[in-house]
Structure 1
Amino acid sequence: MYLLGIDLGTSSIKVSVIDAHTQQCVASAHHPEKEAEIKSLQSGWAEQSPKDWWENTQIALLKLNKTGKYQSQDIKAIGIAYQMHGLVAVDKHLNPLRDSIIWCDSRAVEIGEKAFDDIGHEQCLSHLLNSPGNFTAAKLAWVKQNEPELYSRIHKVMLPGDYIAMMLTGSITTSIPALSEGIFWDFKNDELSKDVIQYFGIEKDLIPEIRPLFSNHGEVKPDIAAALGLSAGIPVAYKAGDQPNNALSLNVLKPGEVAATAGTSGVIYGVSDRLDYDLQSRINTFAHVNYTPSQKYTGILLCINGVGSMYRWAKHNFAPNIDYKDLNTLAAESPIGSNGIKVLPFGNGAERMLGNKYTSVQFHGIDLNRHNQSDIFRSVQEGIACAFRYGLDIMKENGMTPNVIRAGHANLFLSPVFAQAFVDLSGVTLELYDNNGSVGAALGAGIGANIYADATEAFNKFGYIKKIEPLQQQANEEIYLAWKEILIKAIN
C-alpha cells in the first residue's frame, strides 16, 4: 500500500510516494527542472499561474510513475502541501479568473493595515490572532477594489493547494487551518470571521465548504485517474500549508516543539496550546494541522521572505556556473564573519517581522582589493542566519523558547556553514531529518484516510540523521550585534 504526497512550492512541484507500512519514501520527482517563474508586473507584486501549477503537477506525477518503483494503482490516498497565503479565484466553470496573487506579493499591505486600524487592533488580535496584513483576505479585497468586473464573476476563492485538489477531484473544500492562514477565521468564536467578511464586503458563499483538515476532500475523478495512472475514487485526505506541513513532516505537533525551513522563504514555526499573538504582528499565529475546537493547538510562524531567493540571486549573479554544493564548499573557505562583509537579505517584498517594511538587499563592507567569492557567499549565508536569529528573538519575546529546533536536511541546511551559523547564532541545538514536504503530505494523507490511527502511529519510525550543537557562540554574537546595528538603521 502506497501514499502519494504533492508539494506545491514556489519554485517547483515535488511529488513523492511512500510505503505506508515502512513509512519510507520509495520514489520522488519534481517539475519544472528549473525554478518556476514568478511574474512581477509591478514592484512588490508576485503572481503565478494556477494552470501552470496543474500542468507541472501532472508532469511530475508521470515522471514519478516512470521510475517503476511502485505500482501506481496501489496508491490509496493523496495529501497536498502548498505555498501559503496565495489567492486563487475560479468562475462557475472552475476556471481560474486570473493568475494567483502569491504569498510574497505586497500589493495588499495598505489595505490590510487600514482594516487593522478600522476594525480595531485589540479586536483583530484577540479574534484573528493577527492583523489582516497582507494575507489572502486582504488580497481578495484588493481584487474587489481594483478588478470589480472580475470579482463579480468569482464562484469560489481558495488557496493554492485547494486548486490542485479541485483539479484532481472536482471538489472545492477548505479547513479551519486554511481559513486561519487567509485571516478569515475567528478563533474566539470558532467561526468564519464576521469582522473580516463584513469589513471587506466579501460574500460568504465565495468561501468553500469547511471540512476537517484530516478528512476526505474529494475523490479522484475517473478521467484524471486514467490520465495519471491512478485508481479512480482514491481520496485527497489531507491539505495543509507548507509550513504547518513541514512541522507535521518533522513530527512537530506538541506545544513547545519547533520546526524550521530554509527554502524559498525562511521559517521558524513553533506549536502552542495558547491563543497568543504578537502585539506588532511581526510573527503570526495560525491553526495548526491538529487544531480542533476542543484542542486549540496553534502554529506560531515567523517568516523571512527572501532566504532561498537571496541565495539563488547571489549564485545567478556572482557564480552562475557553480552548483550549490560547490558554492557551500566555497563559502567554507572564508572565516567566520566573512572578513567583515555584512548582508541584509531582505529583497523579496515587505517583511512582516520588520513591521511590513522593505529594506532591499544590502551588502556592507565590501573591499574590492580584499574580498572574493568565498567571502560573498559566506556573508550571504551568515546574513540569512542573522535574520533567523532576529526573528527567533521576537519569538522568544512572545514565549517561544525552544531547546531543540528540527529541520529537513535540505536547501540551505545542506550547507555546513549555514547550519552551524544558525545554531551558533540561536544557541539552540539543531536536529536534521531526511524529509521533505511531499513526504509529509503523503503521511498526512495516511492519517486523513485512517490508514494510520493518529500522528503517533504515522511517525513511529521517525529519527534524525544529524545533530548540531553550538560551538562558537561568542564570535557569532559579535557578528550578530554588528549586523543588527545595520538593520536597525535601515528600518528606522
Structure 2
Amino acid sequence: MLLLGIDIGTSSVKVSVVNTVTQTVIASAQYPEQESPILSLQTGWAEQSPDMWWQQTGHAIALCHKKGGYQPKDIAAIGIAYQMHGLVLVDKNHHVLRNSIIWCDSRAVEIGDKAFEDIGQEACLSHMLNSPGNFTAAKLAWVKQNEPDIYELIDKVMLPGDYIAMKLTGEITTSPSAMSEGIFFDFQFNGLSKDIIEYFGFADSLFPIVKPVFSSHGRVTAEVAAALQLNTGTPVTYKAGDQPNNALSLNVLKPGEVAATAGTSGVIYGVSDQLAYDRQSRVNTFAHVNYANENKRLGVLLCINGTGSLYRWVKTAVAPHLSYPEMNAAAALVPIGSNGLRVLPFGNGAERMLCNKQVGAHLHGIDLNLHTPAHIYRAAQEGIACAFRYGLDIMRENGMNPTVIRASKTNMFLSDVFTQAFVNTTGVPVELYNNDGSMGAALGAGIGAEIFASATEAFSNNKAVAYVEPTNTGDYDAVYQDWKIVLNQHLSYV
C-alpha cells in the first residue's frame, strides 16, 4: 500500500510516494527545478498564484509517476503540507479571486497591530495566544479595506493547503491548526474567534467547516483522478502547515521536543502542553497537528524570514557560476568569524522576532583588501545561525529550553559550515534525519486514514543519520555577541 505526500513550498512543490510497510520513499519529484517567483508589486509585498501551485502539483506528481517503481493506482491516501499563513480567496464557483498574499508579505502589519490594541493585548494573547500582527486575519482585513469589490465576491477563505485539497476533491475544509495559524482561532472556546470576526466584520460563512488535521478532507474527483492517474475517491486524510508538518516528519509530538528547518525561512518549533504566549508575539503559538481540546498540544514557533532566501540571493548576486556545494566548500576554507564580516539576514519582509520591524539585509564591515566572495558565503551562513540564536534566546525566555533539536538533512543543513555554526552558536546538539515535508505529509495521510494506529507506528523506522554536537562554542559566541551589536545598531534606526 502506498501514500502520496504533497508539499506546497514557496520555491517549489515536492511530492513523495511512501511505502506503508517500510515507511520509506520509493519515488519523489520536485517542480519546478528553478525557484518559483514571488511577486512583489510594492516594497514589503509578497504574492503567489494559487493556480500556479496547483499546476506545479500536477507536474510534480506526473514526474514522480514517470520515475516508475510503483503503480499510481496503489496510492491509498493523500496528505498535504503547505507554506503557512497564506491567504487564498475563492468565489462560489471555487475560482481564485486574487493572488495569495503569502507568509512573508508585510502590508497588513499596521492593521494587525491596531487590532491588537483595540481588541486588547491581554484578550488577544489569552485567547488567540498571539497578536493578529501580520497573519492571515489581518491580510483578509487588508483586502476588505483596499479591495472591496473582490471582498464582496468571497465565498470561502482558505490557507494554501485547504486550496490544494479543494482542487483535488471539490470540497472545502480546514482544521484547528490552520485556523490558529491564521489567528482566527480562540483557544479558550476551542473555536473561531468571535473577537477577531466581530472586530474586522467578517461573516462566519466565509470560513470552511473545521475538521481535525488527521481526518477525511474529501475524496479525489473523477476528473482529477483521470488527470493525475489516481483512483477516483482516493481520500485526502491530512493537511498541515509546513512547520507543524516538519515537526511531525521528525516525530516531534510530545511536550519539550523541538524541530528546526532552514529552507526559504528558518524555524525552530517546540511542542508544549501549555496555552502560553510571548507578550510581544516575537514567537508564536499555534495548534499542533495532534492538538485536541482534551489533549492540548501547541507548537511554539520562531520564524526567521531571511534564511535560505538570503543564501539564494548571495548565490544569484555573487556566485551564479557556482553550485551550493561549491559555495559551501569555499566557505569552509574561511576562518570562523569570516575575518570580521557580519551579515544580517533580515531582507524578506517584517520579522516577527524583531517585533515586525523591517530591518533589511546588511553586509557589515567589508574590508576591500581582505574579504573575498568566500567570506561572504561563510558570513551569510554565520549570520543566519546568529539569527537562530537570537530567536532561540527569546524562546528560552518563554520556557522552551531544548537539549537537542531535530532537523532534516536538507536545505541549509546540507552545509557542514552552517550546521557547525548552528550547533555552536546555539549551544544545542542537532539530530539529522533523511526526510522532508512531502514524506511527512505522506505518513500523516497514513495516520489520518488509520493505516497506522498511531504516529509512533508511522515513524517507527525513522532513524537519525547524524548527531552533531557543539565543539567550539567560545569562538562562535564571540561572533554572535559582535553580530548582536550590529543588529542592535540597525534596530535603533527603524
CA deviation map 1:62-110 (0-9, x unaligned)? 1110011110000000000000000000001100000000000000000
Separation (CA, whole Å) in 1 of partners of 2:462 and 2:17 = 17
Code of the aligned partner of 2:92: K
Alignment correspondent of 1:251: 251
Matched position secondary structure for 2:431: strand
Code of the aligned partner of 1:238: Y
Separation (CA, whole Å) in 2 of partners of 1:473 and 1:306 = 24
Separation (CA, whole Å) in 1 of partners of 2:368 and 2:485 = 23
Code of the aligned partner of 2:247: A
Alignment correspondent of 1:203: 203
Q: Kindly state the Cα deviation for residue 33 of structure 1 after the two structures are TM-superposed.
A: 1.0
Alignment correspondent of 2:145: 145
CA deviation map 1:236-270 (0-9, x unaligned)? 00000000000000000000000000000000000
Matched position secondary structure for 1:361: strand
Alignment correspondent of 2:49: 49
> Which 4+ stretches in 1 moved above 2 angstroms?
none
Matched position secondary structure for 1:37: coil
Task: Tell me the percent identity.
Answer: 65
Alignment correspondent of 2:133: 133
Separation (CA, whole Å) in 2 of partners of 1:124 and 1:293 = 19
Separation (CA, whole Å) in 2 of partners of 1:68 and 1:481 = 52
Separation (CA, whole Å) in 2 of partners of 1:352 and 1:332 = 31
Alignment correspondent of 2:447: 447
CA deviation map 1:150-183 (0-9, x unaligned)? 1000000100011110000000000101100000
Matched position secondary structure for 1:406: strand
Q: Kindly state the Cα deviation for residue 142 of structure 1 after the two structures are TM-superposed.
A: 0.3
Q: Does residue 277 of structure 2 align to residue 274 of structure 1?
A: no
What does residue range 111-130 of structure 1 map to in structure 2 within 5 Å? 111-130=111-130
Alignment correspondent of 1:300: 300
CA deviation map 1:401-429 (0-9, x unaligned)? 00000000000000000000100011111
Separation (CA, whole Å) in 2 of partners of 1:460 and 1:159 = 30
Taking structure 1 as the reference length, the TM-score comes to: 1.00
Code of the aligned partner of 1:110: E
Q: Kindly state the Cα deviation for residue 385 of structure 1 after the two structures are TM-superposed.
A: 0.3
Q: Kindly state the Cα deviation for residue 306 of structure 1 after the two structures are TM-superposed.
A: 1.1
Alignment correspondent of 1:11: 11
Aligned length: 492
CA deviation map 1:174-227 (0-9, x unaligned)? 010110000000001111100000000000000001111100000000111011
Code of the aligned partner of 1:322: L
Alignment correspondent of 2:426: 426
Q: Kindly state the Cα deviation for residue 445 of structure 1 after the two structures are TM-superposed.
A: 0.1
Alignment correspondent of 1:186: 186
What does residue range 61-460 of structure 1 map to in structure 2 within 5 Å? 61-460=61-460
Matched position secondary structure for 1:474: helix
Separation (CA, whole Å) in 2 of partners of 1:357 and 1:491 = 8
CA deviation map 1:343-376 (0-9, x unaligned)? 1000000100001001111111111111111111
Separation (CA, whole Å) in 1 of partners of 2:131 and 2:382 = 30
CA deviation map 1:12-46 (0-9, x unaligned)? 00000000110000010011111001000000000
Separation (CA, whole Å) in 1 of partners of 2:216 and 2:117 = 38
Separation (CA, whole Å) in 2 of partners of 1:436 and 1:360 = 29
Q: Alignment RMSD, CA only?
A: 0.5
Separation (CA, whole Å) in 2 of partners of 1:464 and 1:96 = 41
Code of the aligned partner of 2:22: T
Matched position secondary structure for 2:360: coil
Matched position secondary structure for 2:267: strand
Q: Kindly state the Cα deviation for residue 121 of structure 1 after the two structures are TM-superposed.
A: 0.3
Q: Kindly state the Cα deviation for residue 323 of structure 1 after the two structures are TM-superposed.
A: 0.5
Q: Kindly state the Cα deviation for residue 462 of structure 1 after the two structures are TM-superposed.
A: 1.5
Separation (CA, whole Å) in 2 of partners of 1:374 and 1:467 = 27
Matched position secondary structure for 2:346: coil
Code of the aligned partner of 1:196: I
Matched position secondary structure for 1:345: strand
Separation (CA, whole Å) in 2 of partners of 1:216 and 1:99 = 27
CA deviation map 1:289-348 (0-9, x unaligned)? 000000110000000001011000000000001001111101101000001100100000
